[in-house]
Structure 1
Amino acid sequence: MTTKKLLLVDGMALLFRSFFQTAPSGRFMFNEKGIPTNAVQGLIRHLFAAADRIRPTHITVCWDMGKDTFRTDMFDSYKAHRPAPPAELAPQFDLAQQATAAFSLHNAGVRNYEADDCIGTISKWTKGEETYILTGDRDLLQLLNGHNYVWLLQTGYGNWKSYDAALFREEYGIDPEQFHYVKALMGDAADGYPGVKGIGEKTALKLIREYGTTEGVLAGLNDMTPALQKKLREGEDMLRMSEKLAEIHCDVPLEWTWEQAAFTGTTEEAVRFIEENGMKGLSRLARHTGYTEVDPFGFD
């Protein structure tokens, strides 16, 4: 029996990371149609660099399907402060999904949910099979367990910090499934929820190590300093809201099967796509046929 190995890709994280890696130098790589392609080309390169190391039998790329989700329904300020995407990035959102499809990669996304939620849901369904999550977002560390691994993008191509549950516990002193309690306490400026005013990551970690959950923290108020009690009492409502926003939702009504996600190599569609969209930098990646024992992904 062939062992399954799944790579789940946070498409939004890779696309944004790729865009901003090259944007400062103005390397937008416009094609003949006048469409910038830097983010899309970077996404494909990041993805296959990781796949070359992981050698997955199955790949799914997960996407946000619009900015409105159940989280924005709960909290108006969720991600509301984020500026509109740069003009050079906006046309690359649709192009990115076209690119992954052309490279024989399975795409997934559900309206009202984020890519993180789709990743969480699929990783819950894999039932013990090795699952690797490629992202730039620390929030996904809460999905670590005995068969889920998280690879966090670092600077440059082919650079990641690879987490398993043991490394997470060593670094943070808590279990991965407790991480969203830490985020609830400290908040997330990038996502626009404040947590408890005056509590940062260091204090949040200390509290969860001692009390286990946000409910445990609130139940233990009488053992804390007056200053900390005041912060938590005044911030209790936002703490409870922040916990709901920080936790990855793992019950998305998503259609996904192993058969859909199976990856056996690219086809001529990838070659046609890069020719039609002026992405010559992806030519080598468009012509690999999967794995061999000597040369996975056809790289020399």
Structure 2
Amino acid sequence: MDDRKVILLMDGDTLAFRAAAAIQHTVTTPTGMVEPMARTWEGEAVLDNMIDRLKKRLKADELIIFLSCPSAENFRLKIEPTYKSNRKASVRPMLLDHLKDYLRLNYGATHMAFIEADDAIGIMATSPKWTDQERVIVVGRDKDFKTIPGEHYQLLDDGDDGAPNIRSISPMEAAKAHYVQALSGDAIDGFPGCPGMGKVRAERVVENPIKLSPKEGITPRGKNKGEKVIKWHEGEPCSIWEAIVCNYEKAGLTEADALKTARMARILLWGEYDLETHAVTLWVPGDE
């Protein structure tokens, strides 16, 4: 029997958004206008029920809820000023900010300066403070959480018997997930990866890293016959980062472009954020 204390690290942004979106609807006024409408008490009740259900299903002893820093200063904007600019036109649920405040007042939700909720969760999930007597589970609905080593529960990820699927991600699996993001980018967050590189192909590169080398050749036939052309050839196995850089160079970009995407995709882990100065240590390639 596992008698460890269960601690949930919860993504408050996602919880508040889901609750706010769930209860918002439209009404038609006597003048014929169709307007959005949401009841604060209904949103609060949905949020309470959601959290209570998660706590019971995961047998949690403690909840720690993180929100994104409300400041417009985000460290990723210093890397790429267009970060998440494609979301500005999207419609936010009416009660989103109200429910975030509700989480702060009623559940002690907090944030870390200048970083997002998923970064705060990544830092806390990999903190050395946890002991063998504690079981930490990351709870959210963010595909990027795969880059955080540890135990995870993705909202609505349940087994056939209705029990929650709690999945364990090793440090190597987390590193590989980050490398896949470094290749494929993130269209939702507004930063591109290697041109022409989808997620499936990126996974193949990460699982089987091969060095690519350019060689000059001559087009043998067709309308461009006789013209010089650069062809890329597969060579010996190499590190994952070397394979990523080769693919960026094949697409006409540089290692600096690859590093920029990797840093944008990085969810911060312990040691990459100073809790006192709020300084972020940008990611650098390892030896995976």
Change (3 A) 1:38 1:253: farther
Question: When you count strand as a share of all residues, which structure comes out higher?
Answer: 2
Offset at 1:109?
Answer: 0.4
1:246 aligns with 2:283: no
Counterpart for residue 108 of structure 2: 106
Offset at 1:175?
Answer: 1.3
Q: Distance in 1 between matches of 2:163 and 2:140?
A: 12
Q: Which one of the candidate residues 81, 87, 99 is aligned to 1:82?
A: 87
1:132 aligns with 2:137: yes
Counterpart for residue 124 of structure 2: 122
Determine what percentage of the aligned residue pairs are the same residue: 22
Question: When you count helix as a share of all residues, which structure comes out higher?
Answer: 1
Larger relative contact order (Cα-Cα within 8 Å, sequence gap ≥ 6): 1
Q: Which one of the candidate residues 174, 177, 186 is aligned to 2:175?
A: 177
Change (3 A) 1:40 1:208: farther
Offset at 1:76?
Answer: 0.5
Match for 2:250: what amino acid? Answer: K
- Structure having the higher Rg: 2
Aligned residues: 230
Match for 2:168: what amino acid? Answer: D
Change (3 A) 1:69 1:24: same
Unaligned runs of 5+ in 1: 256-300
- Note the alpha carbon deviations across 1:28-63, whole angstroms, 9 max, x for none: 7744xxxx4555443332222111011222211000
Q: Distance in 2 between matches of 1:65 and 1:38?
A: 25
Q: Name the SS of the counterpart of 1:245 in structure 2.
A: helix
Change (3 A) 1:246 1:38: farther
Q: Distance in 2 between matches of 1:155 and 1:143?
A: 17
Counterpart for residue 60 of structure 1: 64
Q: Distance in 2 between matches of 1:29 and 1:41?
A: 16
Asked whether the 8 Å contact 1:194–1:238 carries over to 2, the reply is no
4+ residue stretches of structure 1 with deviation over 6 A? 24-29
Q: Name the SS of the counterpart of 1:6 in structure 2.
A: strand
Counterpart for residue 154 of structure 1: 156
Change (3 A) 1:7 1:218: closer
Asked whether the 8 Å contact 1:40–1:99 carries over to 2, the reply is no
Asked whether the 8 Å contact 2:25–2:36 carries over to 1, the reply is no
Match for 2:152: what amino acid? Answer: V
Change (3 A) 1:95 1:202: closer
Offset at 1:179?
Answer: 0.8
